[in-house]
Amino acid sequence: MVTSNRDLANWVDEVARLTRPDRVHWCDGSEDENRELISLMLGTGDLIELNQQTHPGCYLHRSDPSDVARVEHLTFVCTQDRDSAGPNNNWMDPGEARDKMKDLFSACMEGRTMYVLPYCMGPIASPLSRCGVEITDSPYVVANMRMMTRMGAPALERIEREGGFVKGLHSTGELDPERRFIVHFPDDLEIHSYGSGYGGNALLGKKCHALRIASYQARTEGWLAEHMLIVGVENPKGETHYIAGAFPSACGKTNLAMLIPPESYSGWKVWTIGDDICWMRIGDDGRLWAINPEAGFFGVAPGTSAKTNPNALAMLDRDAIFTNVAVTADNQPWWEGKDGQVPVKNWKGEDWAPGNGPAAHPNSRFTVPIAQCPSYSEQAEAPGGVPISAIIFGGRRASLVPLVLESKSWRHGVLLGASMASETTAAATGAVGQVRRDPMAMKPFCGYNFGDYWRHWLSFEGKASQLPRIFHVNWFRKNDEGRFMWPGFGENMRVIDWILRRCNDAVGARETAIGRLPDPADLNLSGIRTSPDALEELLAVDASAWRKELEEIGRYLDQFDDRTPPALRREQRAVADALSD
C-alpha cells in the first residue's frame, strides 16, 4: 500500500477495478517525475516543444477542437434535493448520476496509465487550505495540476495527517461531446469528470474543488470560497492594503491582478497574490483574511501584450504550458494582441495567413506557476492569509453601469454582488456578448442555491466587526461610436486609488440612489486623455434606465423564490424607491 490513509487506498483500488488502467502511478510532484511525463507527452504528441532558445521549458498542447472551454450545460451539482442546488445549477439525482458516471468510467482507462495526484489548495502550512486527490488518465492534467496546486508528497503527508480530502475522478474518455459530464457530489466531497481534457473541466482542483465544492463546504463551516483575484496595493509610504475582486471569466481579472501603475503613480506597486480564486475567513481581529488556494495561473492568452499586461508577458518566456495558441515560423507561441511577430500555424496546427480568422483560439490559455510572476507577493505563502480592505465586484457592461461606485452598507454591497451582470465571453461555450446575470461572478461556480448563498453572505454582517467595504466597477463602458470610454489596464489604478482613499476615509463621495460615487474632481486623471465630459458620463446615474434595471433585478431575485433572503429583496426595493424620489 502506498498510503496509510485507508479511505484513499480503498478508493484508488475501487477506481482501478472500475476503470482498468494498465498501470497506476502515484505522483510525488518531483522534478524527475515531471521531466519523464514531459518526454512521454512529447513522444505521443500531447505536447509540442516550443522554441527552447527563446522559451526554455515551454510547450504547446493542442486540445481536441470540440474541447476548448468549460461546458456549463454539461456541469451538474448532485445534491439530495433539487432545491439545494437551486435554479443556478443543473441538477441530477445523486444515485442516477453515479450510475451514469459508472457506465462512462467502466474500463475507460484500458491501455492507459492512471495517475493518482494528491494536492493541497492553499499553502501547505495554512489552516485555511484544503486537500484533494485527483485520479486522472491524462498526463497533461498532471503537468498542469503540478503548476496550479501544491501537488505531490507534501500534500499526501497532510492528507495522511488530517484524514479528509476531496475525491476527484477524471478521464479524458473519447472526447465525445455527447459523452461529456462534469458532476459534483457536494455532500460526499466528490467530483466526477468524463470526456474533456480542458481547463476547468479537467483540472479538478480549480473550479470544481476550489469553487463548487469549497463554496458548499464554506457555507457549513462559516467561510467564503469566491471567484476573486487578490492583490496588495503598496503606496509610496510602504503601506500595503489588500483587495479582492470578483469578475466573470475573461473580464481582465488576470490583468488587474498584475497591474503596473501608470507613470503618475510613481512609488506605487501592485503585488499579486492570486488571479482567480479567493478563500476568506473571519480572523480574531474581526477582519476577513484571504488566501489564494491556487499556485499557478491558467490565464487567457489572447490580448496579453506588453501594453495590457507586461508582467504576464515577462513570466511566459520560460517553464509554461500553452494550450491552443498559434506558433510563429521560429516556433514561438503567438496569440492575437502579441505584437511584433506573425503566426504561421493556427491553434489547430493548420497553415495560417492573414484573413484566415483568429490564429490562436479566443480561449487559448497559458499555465504557469504564480511564483514566476514579477509582481508575485511573498504574502502568497502566508499561512494566515492577508487582511482584505475592499471587495470589488465588476462586469463587462457597455452601458448604464458607472466606472465605480461604493455600496452604502454591507447589505447593499451584497445586493451589488447579487445583481452583477456581464456580457458573456469565450471562456465558456455558447454565444458571446450577451448580458447575463452573474452574481458575484459565481454563476457557473456556486455549488448550491444562490438564495442560500446570498443569505450566507449577509450573515457576515453579524459575525465580523471590520468587514471590507464593497465596490462595483465597470471598465468596459462604450460611447455611441462603440469605443471604450475608459483606458483600462494600468490606468485602472486611478480607480483603485479612489477605492483605497475611501477605505481610509480620506475622500468624500456623492450619495446617490444606487450608491456612493466619486466627485469627478477626486479621480486623478493626470496623464490620461479621458475628457471631463467623458468622465461625467462615466459617473452619471441615468435614473430611468436604472429603474428598469432594478425591476429586472427584482425579477431575477424572485427566481429563487423563498430562498431569496427577504433582507436582500428589501434592499432592492429601497434602491428602487430611492430612484423614484
Could you tell which of ligand SAT, Mn ion, none binds residue 11, using a CB distance below 5 to 8 A set by kind? none
Burial string for 548-568 (b: 16+ CB within 10 Å, else e) reads: ebbeebbebbeebeebbbeeb
Write the CA distances from 38 to 22, 61, 311, 351, integer angstroms. Answer: 19, 11, 26, 26
Angle at which helix 410-418 crosses helix 566-580, to 10 degrees, equals 90
- The three-class DSSP label of residue 71 is coil
Q: Which listed residue (5, 215, 249, 332) binds ligand SAT by CB under 6 A? A: 249
Binding to ligand SAT by CB under 6 A, coded x per residue (else -) over 51-70, reads: -------------------x
Residue closer to ligand SAT by CB (options 150, 207) is 207
58: CB partners within 8 A, 6+ apart:
50, 51, 52, 316, 317, 318, 319, 320, 321, 322, 333
Contact status, residue 456 vs residue 225, Cβ threshold 8 Å: no
- The three-class DSSP label of residue 118 is strand
Residue closer to ligand SAT by CB (options 70, 502) is 70
Q: What value does the CA radius of gyration of the chain take, rounded to a whole number of Å? A: 23
Q: Which listed residue (207, 456, 516, 563) binds ligand SAT by CB under 6 A? A: 207
Q: Beta strand pairing status for 23-26 and 113-121?
A: parallel
Contact status, residue 195 vs residue 137, Cβ threshold 8 Å: no
- Closest approach of Cβ 249 to ligand SAT, in Å? 4
Residue closer to ligand SAT by CB (options 12, 203) is 203
- Closest approach of Cβ 160 to Mn ion, in Å? 31
- Closest approach of Cβ 276 to Mn ion, in Å? 4
Residues 211-250 that bind Mn ion (CB under 5 A): 249
Binding to ligand SAT by CB under 6 A, coded x per residue (else -) over 300-339, reads: ----------------------------------------
Residue closer to ligand SAT by CB (options 117, 156) is 117
Q: Does position 200 bind ligand SAT by CB under 6 A?
A: yes
- Closest approach of Cβ 200 to ligand SAT, in Å? 2
Binding to ligand SAT by CB under 6 A, coded x per residue (else -) over 270-299, reads: ----------------------------x-
- At 355, phi and psi to the nearest 5? 95, -5
Q: State the Cα–Cα distance between residues 563 and 565, nearest whole angstrom.
A: 6
Residue closer to ligand SAT by CB (options 12, 277) is 277
Q: Does position 427 bind ligand SAT by CB under 6 A?
A: yes
Residue 127's CB is within 10 A of a number of other CB atoms, namely: 11
36: CB partners within 8 A, 6+ apart:
none
Q: State the Cα–Cα distance between residues 534 and 508, nearest whole angstrom.
A: 21
Looking at 11-19, 45-53, 198-206, 370-378, which segment touches ligand SAT (CB under 6 A)?
198-206
In DSSP terms, 229 is beta-bridged to 245
Which member of 251, 278, 373, 446 is catalytic? 251
Q: Does position 206 bind ligand SAT by CB under 6 A?
A: yes
- Tell me the residue type at 147: M
User: Does the annotation count 446 as an active-site position?
Assistant: no
Residue closer to ligand SAT by CB (options 200, 343) is 200
Residues belonging to the active site: 251
Give me the residues that bind Mn ion (CB under 5 A), please. 249, 276
Give me the residues that bind ligand SAT (CB under 6 A), please. 70, 199-200, 206-207, 249, 298, 427
